[in-house]
Amino acid sequence: MAPDERVALICSRLKERGYRGTVVPVEHVAQLKHEIEERLSRKEIDARLYERYLTSLKFDVAANLPETRSIIITVAPQPQRKVTFQFGRQSYSVIIPPTYYADTDDRIRSMLQDILSPGYQLHRAALPLKLLAVCSGMAVYGKNNIAYVEGLGSFLRLRAFLSDMPPGEGDWLEPRVMKECDSCKACLKACPTGAIVQDRFLIHAERCLTFLNEGTEEFPAWINPAWHNSLIGCMRCQLVCPVNKQFVKWVEEGQNFTKAETELILSGVPLDRIPPETVHKLNRCYMAEDLAVIPRNLRALMR
């Protein structure tokens, strides 16, 4: 099978299942690295942001996986999930944004392996996913620096894989912002922390509520408790975005935690001391790995 035919097969199989995909040559990893380094040199990326999110990226693909020839980028549409906590005499329903649920990851990986086997290998890529999706033509940036895909808005999850499969041609574009953002300030006005600004493309991510509630530090004193809206992350800018209009009510029911389970979580009990059935619920929410921040975030939402 010719490279372009295999790429077309990957894209069509993904589309049949409601996903999206594209393939680009691995040589573009160098451009991704350059883009990140340039933003760092211009001090557009906060040092704390770099330390938390970007030091784990692995651009040295040639050294680690020398046979790699292509990057496969995938997009899965995903809803918000509503998780309910019983506490005292009240019930608290909280939102987990679309990007935190990983239940489509294994399905997509399995699909790709079926297509590539037995001739080619597949490895998870540790690359800047939004930048990769935008440069590949799969997505565009919003003014809020979130990736948007036509027909899906920003209710999605991005993944990338490395393979020794020949890539075919593959598009590569300069990062671009949605044309809808030219005359819209909805996200800028809705951002409670002022992270989105008019005079530059990159948001001040160190002020973003997502950055603040994904870290383990206590919230800064200037954070208004009323700003909290998700168990982790933030949906303010996405829910007011006109491009997301048809998706904002796409909310699926998630897990329900009993009063006893909620009290355990709020007390900060380590995962290895939580009953297996509660751990199972946390895993179903993909929140077990974030147990260090959930008690603080949940208390903020309960206020």
- In three-state form (DSSP H/G/I as H, E/B as E, the rest C), the secondary structure along 60-95 is CHHHHCCCCCEEEEEEEECCEEEEEEEECCEEEEEE
The full DSSP string for 149-176 is BTTTBT-EEEEEEEESS---S-------
DSSP character at residue 295: H
Mean pLDDT of 45-62: 93
- Identity of the residue numbered 124: R
Distance CA 241, CA 154 (A): 9
Q: What is the pLDDT of residue 170?
A: 77
What six digits make up the tokens of 165?
A: 């499969």
Please compute the mean of the pLDDT values over residues 66-84 and round it to a whole number: 97
pLDDT, residue 130, reads: 97
User: Tokens 């007390």 map to which residue?
Assistant: 267
Has residue 3 got a pLDDT over 90? Answer: no
Exposed, middle or buried: residue 125 (CB in 10 Å: 0-12, 13-18, 19+)?
buried
Phi, psi dihedral angles at 35 (to 5 degrees): -60, -45
Q: Whole-prediction pTM value?
A: 0.94
Kindly state the percentage of the chain with pLDDT values over 70. 100
Q: Which of 6-10, 151-155, 230-234, 298-302 has the weakest average pLDDT?
A: 6-10
Say whether pLDDT at 183 is over 90: yes
- The CA distance from 13 to 112, in Å, is 9
Residue % of the chain over a pLDDT of 90: 92
* Positive or negative torsion for Cα 52, 138, 18, 108: negative
- The sign of the torsion formed by the CA atoms of 243, 146, 169, 104 equals negative
pLDDT, average across residues 216-226: 95
The yes-or-no verdict on residue 303 having pLDDT over 90 is no
Angle subtended at Cα 27 by Cα 23 and Cα 33, rounded to the nearest 5 degrees? 105
Confidence band, pLDDT 50/70/90 cuts, at residue 209: very high
Using pLDDT thresholds of 50, 70 and 90, give the confidence band for residue 195.
very high
Residue pair 73/133 in contact by the 8 Å Cβ criterion: yes
Length of the chain (residues): 303
Quick check: 97 pLDDT over 90? yes
The domain limits of the chain are 3-302
- Per residue in 106-134, pLDDT (tens digit) is 999 999 999 998 889 999 999 999 999 99
